[in-house]
Each structure stands twice: as structure tokens, then as C-alpha cells.
Amino acid sequence: MLPLVCIFREIRRAAVHTHRKSRVTTLHQLVSTFNGVPAGLADADTIFALSSGHGRCGVAVVRVSGSASSMALRCMAGLKRRLPSPRTALLRSITDPHSKEILDRGLVLWFPGPHSFTGEDSVEFHIHGGPAVITAVLQALGSMPGMRPAEAGEFTRRAFQAGKLGLTEVEGLGDLIHAETEAQRRQALRQMSGDLERLYQGWSHRLKRCLAHVEAFIDFSEDELIEDGVLERVDSSVSTLLAEIERHLKDERRGERLRSGVHVVIAGATNAGKSSLLNTLCQRPAAIVSSIAGTTRDVVETGLDIGGFPVLLSDTAGLRDSTDLIEQEGVRRARERVQQADLTLVVVDSVLLPFEVQKAAGTLQENLTRVLPDLKQPDKDRCLLVLNKTDLLPEAQRQKLERELKGVSGLPPVCLISCQTHEGLQDFLSVLQSRVKTLCGDPLSDAPTLTQARHRAHLQQCVAALAQYQKLRDTDLALAAEGVRLALTSLGRITGKLGAEEILDIIFKDFCIGK
């Protein structure tokens, strides 16, 4: 009678032989006699989609990812033997797997897992970008067993699930795809490259170490197996980390503002030239301009790229008392937008200013108070005074205003322009660009900034949890440790990485339990 080990060895050998034989037979059926392939040979876990965007173009890219990718490549590119070298373009005729009709002639690329974007076996078909060609190739892929159209974002989701991308990197990729300005591109690329991920992972690693040390102290301190000063080192680490996270949160929302755009609102009295300024900046007649006071009733918005930074520019109704119900609603909406603005352009008709500089400064202060009644000195960095219609002023008066108003204390920066002649426009744009850049910050300098509201919410929860540790450390160490655990969970929700096993690994690595 054979020993039990020998019996198991023979059973394993037979199973491996049967699996290999079944695999070869299945592959032969898929490649040689595709028309007769029964459904169910694949598990419908292979996805495909047009990755290059819709519309006519010179070249379109169709991406396939999943276990049946190699089958799709063999069947549609006529590869009966071995697959092409990884990441090497091969010119082939793309054929329908059923009728063998040639659909197009293009490049095919093979990306075997795990060295692919999704971590799975992947294929790309680079075909001509006509709608008929794209439709024919997608229909051919959909007719194959185990293949289905990808859902929105499913390729990136698989990359995340395979550990190819963290959550912050996934968000950076999405921002890069939607980036419209140079600064947005830089910020998104930095996040996609993992700068933010590494920052949060570094904090997570330090928190795991703190938690491991606290739990080890709780479990083993009575047996005198823990070295002295462990909790003091945890206290120091928590305090340092807490200060770093709080400093990270005090970014004045620069990253979020850069991602979504700086909200710049044009406000002021009626007939000051607000709509003319909007049209001048966006270089098109976005708003109706007339000499009739109160022409603009609703908020008119347009997106701009100012010096590489995204700006959402809003023209609003003139601020005045009115018995007209529609105009009243327009004024209410205007004031609401001013309250929400990152930067307010207070437009004033320069023709209505007194000739004397001190009186002119008083009039400008009144205009500021009318537009921004709660304006405080620090908030004056969030507004600009725009004196419009300077082409109607005598040259001597214009020069005097430009020279002397800039030295008046208590006023925000003053810009003199003419929307009619564009005089002073370049100087105004320079000031505006400088303010927008200050509000957004430089995406490539210093530490990476917060870009998502959810990051901020989880970090605030992390700060509260660490404060709980500091508060309960001397009275209830178990509850204090729970604070560290909650902080770690909050960070893990940002990156999408949570794991208790890592904490146990640190315990047994840093402490010689039972020595």
C-alpha cells in the first residue's frame, strides 16, 4: 500500500495534467474554431471600451483588460501562434472573429499582467478614428464570450483594486483628464505621481507605529517586557504629527480652489461698466451692454484661463434700491455671489469721482462699503477697485488719480482702465493674475496641497481623534489608543488603504515579546 504522501503527490500530478490539457484544448477552440465556441468559456470579467474619446479623429484607441484579452488579440489580429512581444506595436489586419471580414488595419499592443495599467492582461487596438470603424471593432469585441463593455471608470477602478494606484492617485488622474489650465495640469500631475499619497502614507506609517507601541504597552507592560519611555515617545510623535496635519489644513483651500477655479465676481453700481468688463476679459459679447441702468438682472458666468490659473468670472446686477421685483431678485443674487466670492472686482464709474483725491478716496470707500458692507482690513486682499471709463476723463485728471490713489491707505489696489479703448487693461490683468496666483498658490512648490473636500473632512476627523488621545492619555489609555486607531482609520479612508495586520507586524518587529 502506497504511503499517504505518495497518494497526495499522484493526485496533485493528475490534477495539474488535467488542468493543462483542458487549458490547451480551450485555447485551441477559442483561436481555431471561434464560431463554435460555447458561451461561458470566459467569466465575463474582461472589459473593453474606447479610451481615446468620442468623435472623428485620426487614430482611436480601444482598450481591453481581463483574462480574455489574449483571446481577443489572437482572434481579431489573426495571431494563431504566440502573442507579440509585450509593449511592442504590431501592424495587423483587425478582423471580425465570426465572419473573418477585415474591419480595419491598425496597430495592436499586448500588455501582460501585472505590468499593465490595470494589473491585468491588457490589449490596445490603435485603429482609424472614423465612427464606422470604431463601432465595428466594439461590436466585434462585444460578440466574443466573456467580454463586456466597461463601466465608467472601471479601468481605473481595477488599477486601484490591483494596487497599481492609490485613491489620491486615482483622483489625480481624474483631475489631469479634466485639467483646463496649466496650473491645474501641474497640480493634477503631481498628485497622480503620488506626492500626496506618499505624504499621507508617511503619516499613516507613523500612526501605525504609535498605535502598535500603545497597544503593546497596554498588553505587556505589567510583565515588564516593554522598555522605558515608550509612551513618552508616542506622546512626542502624536504631538508632532498633529501639528503637521493642522499646518497642512491651514492652506486657505488653495488646492481645492485651483482644482475648481477661483470665483471672481464683478460687482458695483448700475452703469459702472461691469458687463463691459466681463466682455472685455472673455473677448466676446457674453453679456448685454446698454446705456439703460439695470440691464443685467441675472448672474452671467464664464470660465477663463488667467495666467494658467482657472477663473470662474461672474457679472452681477447693479446694486441699487429698486421697486422692480425682478431687479430686486437680481440684486439679492448679486450680493449672494459677492459673499461666496474668492475675489471681488468693485467697478466704479471714474467720471463720477470728485477731482480732489481725498474726496475721490472717500467716494471709493463708500462704493466698497456698498458692495462689501462687512469688509475688514485683512479682507481687502480679496478685492480690487476697478475705475472704468477713464477714456472720458481729462488726461491730467486720469494721471493724477492713477498717481495719488495708489498711495491712499485703507484702500485695496486701484486699477484704472477703459473697456472702450483697453487703456490700462494689461496693468489690470497683471494685478488680477497676481491675486489669482496668490489665491491658488504654486502647485509645484513646498508640500502637496489638499485638492478634495473629502480629504479635508477626513483630516479634520484625524485631528479630532489625535486630540482625543492627548486628552485621555493619562486617565484611560485604552480609550486614548482608540483615538489613535480612529485617526489611522481616517487617513486610511483618504488613501483607501487600511490593515490591522501591519500593526501586528510592527508590534513583533519593534518589541521582543516574550524575550
DSSP state of 323: S
The angle at the Cα of 39, spanning 33 to 43, to the nearest 5 degrees, equals: 115
The overall average pLDDT reported for the chain is: 84
pLDDT band, residue 27 (cuts 50/70/90): very low
Buried b (16+ CB within 10 A) or exposed e, 143-179: ebbbbbebeeeebbebbbeeebbbbbbbbbbebbeeb
Kindly report which listed range (26-40, 125-139, 210-224) carries the lowest average pLDDT score. 26-40
Q: Is the dihedral of CA 148, 154, 157, 163 positive or negative?
A: positive
Q: What is the pLDDT of residues 299-313, one digit of tens each?
A: 999 999 999 999 999
Residues 6+ apart with CB under 8 A from 287: 275, 278, 279, 296, 300, 315
Please give the Cα distance from 3 to 479 (Å, whole number). Answer: 56
Let me know if 492 is exposed, middle or buried by CB neighbors in 10 A (0-12, 13-18, 19+). buried
Please give the Cα distance from 42 to 66 (Å, whole number). Answer: 10
pLDDT more than 90, % of the chain? 53
pLDDT band, residue 111 (cuts 50/70/90): very high
| 43 phi/psi in degrees, rounded to 5 | -100, 25
pLDDT score at 140: 95
Please give the Cα distance from 30 to 210 (Å, whole number). Answer: 55
Please give the Cα distance from 216 to 230 (Å, whole number). Answer: 9
Question: Coil, strand or helix: which one is 363?
Answer: helix
Query: Is residue 378 over pLDDT 60?
Result: no
Please give the Cα distance from 246 to 366 (Å, whole number). Answer: 38
Q: How many CB atoms lie within 10 A of CB 424?
A: 20
HSE (side-chain half, CA atoms, 13 Å) at 193: 9
Query: Is residue 465 over pLDDT 60?
Result: yes
Contact 317, 295 (CB under 8 A): no
Which of 344 and 29 is assigned the larger pLDDT? 344
Q: How many residues does the chain have?
A: 515
Which of 31 and 492 is assigned the larger pLDDT? 492
Kindly report which listed range (214-218, 364-368, 407-411, 438-442) carries the lowest average pLDDT score. 407-411
- When pLDDT is averaged across residues 405-431 and rounded to a whole number, the result is 90
Cell readout for 511 is: 518589541
pLDDT score at 226: 64
| 102-111, strands of its sheet edge to edge | 90-95, 102-111, 122-129, 57-65, 46-50, 147-149
| 83 phi/psi in degrees, rounded to 5 | -75, 160
HSE (side-chain half, CA atoms, 13 Å) at 111: 15
For residue 75, the one-letter residue type is C
Q: How many CB atoms lie within 10 A of CB 64?
A: 28
With CA atoms as reference, report the closest residue to 400 among 380, 414, 418.
414
pLDDT score at 375: 72
Please give the Cα distance from 385 to 266 (Å, whole number). Answer: 10
pLDDT score at 349: 93
The span from the first CA to the last CA of the chain, in angstroms, equals 47
Please give the Cα distance from 270 to 289 (Å, whole number). Answer: 11
- When pLDDT is averaged across residues 393-398 and rounded to a whole number, the result is 89
* Confidence (pTM): 0.76
With CA atoms as reference, report the closest residue to 291 among 312, 266, 318, 314.
318
pLDDT score at 153: 85
pLDDT band, residue 410 (cuts 50/70/90): confident
Please give the Cα distance from 187 to 182 (Å, whole number). Answer: 9
The angle at the Cα of 136, spanning 130 to 140, to the nearest 5 degrees, equals: 150
Q: What is the pLDDT of residues 441-461, one digit of tens each?
A: 888 877 788 888 888 999 999
